[in-house]
Structure 1
Amino acid sequence: MRKINMIPFTGKALASAILASSLAQHALAVDYGIFDARALAMGGTTLAVGNTAQGQYYNPALLAFHKGDEDKTRDGRTYFPTIVVQATDTVDSAIDAVDEELDSKLSNAVNTYNNLRTAASAGAVAAGASDLRKVLDEIANKDVSINGFFGLSVSEPSDHEGGAFYIGARVIGAGTSKVTDTDLALLDDYIAAMTDLAAGANPQTVAAQYPNLVNANGTLKDPTQTLNSSADVSALAISEWGMATAKEFTFWGQPISFGVTPKLMRVDAYRDDANFNTSSTSIDDTINQFSDTKSTHITLNADIGIAAIIAEHYRVGIAVKDLIKKDFTTHQDADPITGLERPDLTVKLRPRSRMGVGYVTENFSVGVDYDLQESTPMANEAPSQDLSLGAEYRLFNTLALRVGYRQDQTGLRENAASAGLGFQWRRFVMDIAYSESADMKAGGLQMGWKF
């Protein structure tokens, strides 16, 4: 992380800073992406075992994996809405810190103790410092991540070719907190000192043991005025209009499909050092300061893919998303204390490549996907590189049972297990999914219509 001039701010401001980035839409680097419930249920495994209703999101070559006239097969799909949301557990901690106003409670407890020095008021300070210490410890030097997608898609496969159209909004970002050891040690001193006073210890003895907690006039200092932690927050809100197409060709007797998804993108980029002075610590002020860094870019990009079916049931696929690398510059307001201009910051969007292999029959599918390189962080958050395993079993062409497993090869993110269901009644289709790891939870829902 680039070294910056730190401005003291409270525990609530830190949590608000991180939460602001999540509300402005976040993630753990810009990964390959999960855009529908079936993929989420199968651990993100899509490059080879994805179907013709998913190809526009992951590997456009899959749109050509179809035989027969679409007017007879009824394999066209319209999906709306499609919703997928993934969030780290640290988001809950940041929200709790803001909702419970832990810094205000601690500050009020200090004022009460200075006015009425009783065991009860000392205990209230110790409790307030302990609550704030706990939540800062939970988010200390960790990434707060939210990754969401909302969209509409229409896919229409034909005989060894196909096309699809989609409109979607992907919101990705990250907040990396920097909670200092000095802040944590200071809160530890308050907890120890005030716990002793609540238990009946002599005030002069405690003051001599913890002189850093007492003003020159003998009153207790307010610790929320001296905390010196920070957060680097960034986000991309990407609106896409994509038109995918694919066609199968035969080379030396082997059918191979090629696909491309040209797309128009509106990218709203945000990034801030999240320095806040003590006079502006509300969540609304924090979000407004973060939103002021927004820069909007209209750009073109494309996804490409290739896939092949071998010996009828075996598949292999490889694809690249966002083929053209992009840098988006964001503007920071002047330093609220010194008035000095702060440098513009950059949010990065880089190509992501992935390959997959699979075994697919009419009722059973199993596959493995692998990111070919680490994802490039937008700013200073951690990269990722997924290895995914997914399987699906269909019952009576009405119910699909799905499971998946995802492992981050960088070792920086916990492994995730997932499961989901697909349901079809006449022409109505619906998919639901849930995924969980030690540090993240995710859910997905989509509803659609066969035509």
Structure 2
Amino acid sequence: MKNSIKLLPLTIALFASSASAANYAIEARGDAMGGVGVVSANFLTAPFYNPALTAIYRRNDDVGMITPSFGLAYSDEHNMVSDLNSASGLITEVAGGDYSNISQMSGILDDLTGDIAKLEIGGVVAFAIPNRFIAANVFGKAYAESFAQTDIWDGAASALPQAGINDAINAELSAVNAVSVGVTEVGISLAKYQTFLGHHIAFGVTPKLQRIYTFVYTANLDNYDITKVRENGTGETMLNFDAGFVWFRGPLRVGISATNLMKRDIKTDEIAGQTITSSIDGSQSRTIAPISYSYQMRPLYTVGAGLVADYATLSVDYDLNEEERYTNFDDNTQMLRVGGEIDIMRQLKLRAGWKRNLAYENLDDTITAGIGLSPLNLFQLDIGASYTNENSMGAYINFLTSY
């Protein structure tokens, strides 16, 4: 089936096939503040950042709920979707004997080399019961992250006389590889606050049950069958743990969190090898080896520090280690995040933040912003947004209540 490839529908389909999610927060307050939360989250959102914060709450907080939170982010920093559409159109023209625009192919392939795009989507729910004995928060989370990366071929050596014909053949023999991971989690965060030698501390642990899904897919630039995505998936169920600690004195807080302490390697399904033959010059072909990946779930350690006062918050989070996740795929992360919040009379909260992925040097920084509305303190609505560039944005929303 011939189609001009659209990357966004491709990644959305990968997500829909997994119906699931991964090891990140999807929470509008934190997302509006650059993703910080190791010391700045509250007792309701603590399981998604630092379980120790489950034990830090106001005296009048007896119970609280997130009902629910949703988030969606799409990143195409280097215009991969537009370039793929241009390449597909030119391949169709040249295959049909129209060489009028063939000179554009070389630049398009250069732009596509090494490009990657991704889609993130997910949601959470939580029910917290703070108390001075063992504070608890029961939660569920679903998150999916899909990546697509180009595999540009450069081995064409055609004897056809047309200028630029090799570039067109290279485009026809190039591919897009895609992977998707989804994780559903159900767990309970348990935490305890106490004083030790005059210091205020809290520590917590989160046992959780995870179902992890992986999908792998490959397609030519101008030919893919989206219905085959479901055929290349696998899933595993496992028990895992998070842990966290926070020290505070007045508004000053310092903390550390560790997520997914039980490591696991998950092998994706394998796509059989194939030979692609050019329709422009039938003597040109490319043999693609079988394709499979391994998804690595490893502990992630994040430190945080900040000032958390009644009407203002400023916080910084830093990942101590880099997450590789899919081996041989450019989806690594090691995040530095900064965020703040101003609370106006408990009715309106203004938030902003910044974050950077330190795993790669050529990625743009992301800025975030959002508001929180608490009409008469009956409930709270949080809205957040992120912006990396015109091709990379996100939106998030929370509904919270506490009594």
TM range (shorter): 0.7 to 0.9
Structure 2, unaligned stretches of length 5 or more?
277-286
- Match 1:53 to one of 35, 44, 69: 44
Q: Cα distance 1:253–1:304, how it changes in 2: closer, same or farther (>3 A)?
A: same
Say if 1:268 and 1:296, in contact at 8 Å, map to a contact too.
yes
Q: For structure 1, list consecutive stretches of 5 or more residues without a partner in the other structure.
A: 1-8, 114-121, 187-206, 214-220
Mark the structure with the bigger radius of gyration: 1
1:81 paired residue number: 68
Say whether 1:423 aligns with 2:365: no
- Does structure 1 retain, via aligned residues, the 8 Å contact 2:142–2:184? yes
> Residue 446 of structure 1: which of 394, 398, 403 is its match?
398
* Displacement after TM superposition at 1:337 (Å): 4.5
Tell me the amino acid that sits aligned with residue 25 of structure 2: I
1:302 is matched with: 241
Asked if the contact 1:21–1:290 (Cα under 8 Å) also holds between the matched residues in 2, the reply is no
Asked if the contact 1:66/1:161 (under 8 Å) is kept, the reply is: no
Matched, 1:349 2:297: yes
Q: For residue 443 of structure 1, what is the amino acid of its counterpart?
A: A
Residue 111 (structure 1) aligned with residue 122 (structure 2): no
Mapping 1:203-214, distance limit 5 Å? 210=162, 213=165
Within 1, Cα distance between the matches of 2:69 and 2:340?
21
Residue pair 2:65, 2:125 contacting (<8 A) in 1 also: yes
Equivalent pair of 1:174/1:233 in contact (CA under 8 Å)? yes
Number of equivalent positions: 384
Per-residue deviation, 1:331: 1.7
- Aligned residue number for residue 316 of structure 2: 368
Deviations 1:202-227 (A, max 9, x none): xxxxx96x3674xxxxxxx9946962
Structure ranking higher on relative contact order (CA contacts 8 Å, 6+ apart): 1
Q: 1:382 to 1:245 in 2, by over 3 A?
A: same
Alpha-carbon RMSD across the aligned residues, in angstroms, is 3.5
Quick one: distance in 2 between partners of 1:163 and 1:296? 29
Is contact 1:154-1:164 (8 Å) kept?
yes
Q: Structure 1 length normalisation: TM-score?
A: 0.75
Q: Contact 2:24–2:143 (CA<8 Å) still a contact in 1?
A: no
| 1:193 alignment counterpart | none
Indicate yes or no: 2:137 matched with 1:157: no
Alignment of 1:35-434 (within 5 A): 35-68=26-59, 73-74=60-61, 76-90=63-77, 93-94=80-81, 96=82, 103=88, 107-108=92-93, 111=96, 113=98, 125-126=100-101, 130=104, 137-159=110-132, 161-180=134-153, 210=162, 213=165, 223=168, 227-272=172-217, 274=218, 276=220, 281-282=223-224, 285=225, 287-310=226-249, 312-337=250-275, 342=290, 344-379=292-327, 380-410=329-359, 411-426=361-376, 427-434=378-385
Q: 1:264 to 1:360 in 2, by over 3 A?
A: same
CA shift digits 1:49-93 (9 cap, x unpaired): 11112101110100111253xxxx146332223112222125974
C-alpha distance after superposition, 1:181-219 (max 9, x if no partner) = 568x99xxxxxxxxxxxxxxxxxxxx96x3674xxxxxx
Supply the AA of the counterpart residue of 1:33. Y
TM-score (norm 2): 0.83
Partner SS, residue 383 of structure 2:
strand
